[in-house]
């Protein structure tokens, strides 16, 4: 989703800005732009397309100056056209703004500003920020006050960065991330530490309602009420910036293969922190788990995993949470699962739970994320940066960690910790199926619809597999509980159907086998993911035998690989699927 970058220092700003935007490309976007200040003059260039393409045609990185802002836009208000790309300028071209989030009252503000003579050049909600800053600056002649008055007028979620031609860089946040990077003689403002991690590992994480003003002599922080505040510098891990494709042609493929290390890495937890986390769950009267997309599928699996430790939980999709939050009270615990820790739907759920007096726990990949900072306690899955928009390694890390949590609460010996070695070996064996799965993808690439079936633990995995196929290959895919087939979906099955069945030889085997026969007799082609060969499958994907409860960790990998290769067969870009963003910071 939108990325913001701002820079003030001794380097050529436009190159620093372009480099930062490229590092954040994984978040997803459709247009790009930058503005710099040179000798008191504001210069801007922007257009629709990828950073490299727009830079090639418009030479964004040739804009002069040592102060500037940049942005990649993911359209919400106003079409994907050059004039809606950020930065947006105030009327007299002395102020430029880049924004992430949604200004809910922009219509009303725009009307008011139009009445005062402001002329708008875009259809975006963001442009009102530039004009409001201009309006208040004309009245106060004070940048700090203009920032405070502007922030007070905005309703919605926002992180924005502004440059004033007097050589000042400012930023503010409310419900969207904004981080200050502190270099030796330069400052950065960014939505993501990856935006500046090549330059500095010193970061200041702004809180909600924080404003930062950086001028030639100092950096100062205020809240929306105008009170001066102080903010601490945090040292972030350099490794977070260590994201490149290595020998793989895409981040997605690299991240799928990294699961050989990341699954067991998520089990390396600080014992005390883990125990405290588990105690909160064990002592809660009601437990709710929430997440979005892939992380919601982890929540569904968590429900089943915890039920084996006799812990009952309710799962609620984060985007639906607000309609059920009345169920929570001070005896409840909400466990929020999120790779990015920035998903707006998840953050809204957490705030609603807090309002009801519930305790909030989270499982995140980014410990500096807004979610981790809002939680009473959190665990880190530790799988390293996940750049591919579709979640892969973060899913298996989340569920491995959830198995560990369930084992501790259920005081289970010989749980996942004792299976570490066999797990690593099994994951590596599944990854060796890579080229076989590529061949299966080639066979089924022209299908219009793919169904994925599984029972028990395999059901949430079927949902996750279908999500991967939709996201990466744009083929319609549906995951379903195998037993539900006969209650409706069977009407869709004919000899053009491809049905993938998650079918290890466990307690679900024979019931699922009956479902396979039912489908097969309607002419469908069957892709079997199993540890047991069976001639009923048209395509066999044979996975290793492992303890029944741990199958989800290995059986999802062939589905991720299949989705990846279907995407390649269909000439899509698996790392950046159309219309999707990695970190969805709007509701």
* Residues within the interface to ligand G6P (CB under 6 A): 292-295, 338-340, 343, 346, 389-391, 580, 582, 584
Residue 80 or 580 with smaller CB distance to ligand G6P: 580
Catalytic, 170? Answer: no
Q: Which is nearer to ligand G6P, 287 or 390 (CB)?
A: 390
CB of 293 to ligand G6P, least distance (A): 3
Strand 88-89 and strand 95-103: the pairing is: antiparallel
User: What 3-state class would DSSP assign to 152?
Assistant: helix
Considering beta carbons, is residue 29 or 164 the nearer one to ligand G6P?
29
Q: Which residues 6+ apart lie within 8 Å of 410 measured at CB?
A: 308, 309, 310, 311
Q: In the numeric block, which tokens belong to residue 204?
A: 């200041």
State the catalytic residue, choosing from 245, 351, 582, 587: 582
Return the bridge partners of 572, or none: none
Closest to 321 in 3D by CA, of 286, 296, 301 = 296
SS3 assignment, position 215 = coil
Token pair belonging to 135: 């309006």
Min dist. Cβ of residue 437 to ligand G6P (A) = 20
Give the residue at shortest CB distance from ligand G6P. Answer: 293
Q: Closer to ligand G6P at the Cβ: 13 or 556? A: 556
Non-local (6+) Cβ contacts of 292 within 8 A are 317, 318, 319, 338, 343, 345, 346, 584
486 is a catalytic site residue: no
In the beta sheet, which residues pair with residue 530? 542
What angle is formed at CA 394 by the lines to CA 393 and CA 400, rounded to 5 degrees? Answer: 90
Cβ nearer to ligand G6P, comparing 291 with 415: 291
Closest distance of CB 509 from ligand G6P, Å: 30
Cβ nearer to ligand G6P, comparing 309 with 338: 338
Find the shortest distance in angstroms from Cβ 179 to ligand G6P.
17
SS3 call for 66? coil
Q: How far is the CB of 93 from ligand G6P (least distance, A)?
A: 36
- Nearer to ligand G6P by Cβ, of 551 and 576: the residue is 576
> Closest approach of Cβ 289 to ligand G6P, in Å?
13
The β-bridge relationship of strands 210-214 and 168-174 is antiparallel
Q: Which of 368, 28, 20 is nearest to 206 (CA)?
A: 368
CB of 3 to ligand G6P, least distance (A): 15
Nearer of residues 465 and 504 to ligand G6P, judged by Cβ:
465
CA dist., res. 481 & res. 462, Å (int): 8
DSSP string, 319-386: HHHTTTGGG--TTEEEEEEESSS--HHHHHHHHHHHHTT-EEEEEES-TTSHHHHHSSEEEE------
- Alpha carbon distance 558, 544 (integer Å): 12
What span, in angstroms and rounded, lies between the C-alpha atoms of 451 and 460?
13
What is the rounded CA–CA span in Å between residue 35 and residue 163?
8
Strands 314-317 and 286-291: parallel
Two tokens, residue 499: 């049905």
Helix (H) / strand (E) containing 476: strand 476-481
d(CA 549, CA 555) in angstroms, rounded, equals 11
Shortest distance in whole angstroms from residue 405 CB to ligand G6P:
17
557 close to 544: Cβ distance less than 8 angstroms: no
3-class state of residue 509 by DSSP: helix
133 vs 469 by CB, closer to ligand G6P: 469
Judged by CB, which is closer to ligand G6P: 153, or 351? 351
The least CB distance from residue 476 to ligand G6P, in Å, is 17
Helix axes 13-23, 51-58, angle to 10 degrees: 150
End-to-end CA distance of the chain: give it in Å, rounded: 12
Strands 3-8 and 187-190: antiparallel
Distance (Å, whole) CA 300 – CA 291: 9
Q: Which two tokens stand for residue 488?
A: 């409706």
User: Which one from 2, 151, 170, 278 is the annotated catalytic residue?
Assistant: 2
Residue 467 CB, shortest distance to ligand G6P, in Å, is 8
CB closer to ligand G6P out of 124 and 292 = 292
Nearest distance in Å: CB 296, ligand G6P: 8
User: Would you please indicate which residues are annotated as catalytic (active-site) residues?
Assistant: 2, 582
């Amino acid at each position: 989703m939108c990325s913001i970058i701002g820079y003030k220092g001794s380097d050529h700003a436009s190159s620093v800005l372009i480099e930062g935007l490229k590092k954040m490309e994984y978040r997803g976007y459709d247009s790009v732009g930058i503005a710099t200040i040179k000798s008191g003059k504001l210069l801007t260039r922007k257009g629709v397309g990828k950073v490299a393409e727009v830079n090639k045609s418009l030479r964004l990185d040739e804009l002069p100056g040592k102060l500037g802002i940049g942005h990649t836009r993911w359209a919400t208000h106003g079409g994907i056209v050059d004039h809606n790309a950020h930065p947006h300028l105030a009327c007299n071209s002395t102020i430029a703004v880049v924004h992430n989030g949604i200004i809910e009252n922009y219509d009303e503000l725009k009307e008011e500003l139009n009445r005062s003579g402001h002329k708008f050049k875009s259809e975006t909600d963001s442009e009102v920020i530039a004009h409001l800053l201009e309006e208040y600056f004309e009245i106060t002649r004070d940048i700090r006050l203009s920032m405070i008055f502007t922030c007070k007028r905005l309703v919605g979620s926002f992180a924005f960065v502004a440059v004033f031609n007097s050589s000042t860089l400012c930023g503010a946040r409310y419900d969207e991330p904004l981080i200050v990077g502190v270099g030796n003689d330069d400052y950065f403002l960014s939505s993501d530490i990856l935006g500046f991690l090549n330059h500095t590992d010193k970061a200041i994480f702004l809180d909600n309602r924080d404003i930062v003003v950086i001028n030639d002599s100092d950096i100062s922080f205020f809240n929306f009420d105008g009170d001066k505040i102080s903010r601490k510098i945090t040292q972030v891990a350099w490794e977070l910036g260590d994201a490149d494709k290595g020998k793989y042609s895409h981040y997605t493929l690299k991240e799928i293969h990294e699961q050989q290390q990341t699954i067991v890495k998520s089990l390396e937890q600080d014992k005390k922190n883990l125990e405290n986390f588990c105690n909160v769950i064990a002592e809660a009267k009601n437990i709710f788990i929430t997440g979005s997309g892939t992380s919601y599928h982890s929540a569904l699996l968590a429900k089943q995993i915890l039920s084996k430790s006799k812990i009952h939980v309710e799962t609620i999709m984060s985007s639906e949470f607000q309609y059920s939050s009345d169920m929570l009270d001070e005896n409840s615990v909400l466990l929020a699962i999120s790779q990015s820790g920035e998903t707006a739907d998840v953050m809204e759920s957490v705030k609603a739970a807090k309002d009801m007096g519930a305790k909030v726990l989270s499982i995140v990949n980014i410990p500096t994320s807004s979610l981790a900072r809002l939680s009473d306690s959190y665990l880190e899955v530790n799988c390293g940066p996940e750049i591919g928009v579709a979640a892969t390694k973060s899913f298996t890390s989340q569920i491995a960690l959830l198995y560990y949590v369930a084992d501790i609460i259920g005081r289970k010996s010989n749980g996942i910790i004792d299976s570490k070695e066999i797990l690593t070996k099994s994951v590596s064996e599944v990854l060796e199926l890579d080229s076989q799965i590529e061949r299966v993808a080639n066979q089924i690439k022209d299908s219009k619809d793919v169904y994925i079936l599984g029972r028990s633990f395999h059901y949430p995995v079927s949902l996750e597999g279908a999500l991967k196929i939709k996201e990466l290959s744009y083929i319609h895919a549906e995951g379903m509980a195998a037993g539900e087939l006969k209650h409706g979906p069977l009407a869709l099955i004919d000899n053009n159907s491809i049905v993938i069945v998650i079918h290890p030889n466990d307690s679900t085997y024979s019931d699922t086998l009956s479902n396979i026969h039912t489908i097969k007799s309607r002419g469908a082609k069957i892709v079997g993911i199993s540890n047991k060969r069976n001639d009923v499958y048209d395509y066999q994907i044979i996975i290793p035998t492992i303890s029944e409860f741990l199958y989800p960790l290995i059986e999802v990998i062939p589905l991720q690989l299949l989705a990846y290769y279907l995407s390649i067969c269909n000439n899509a870009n698996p790392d950046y699927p159309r219309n999707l963003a990695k970190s969805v910071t709007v509701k």
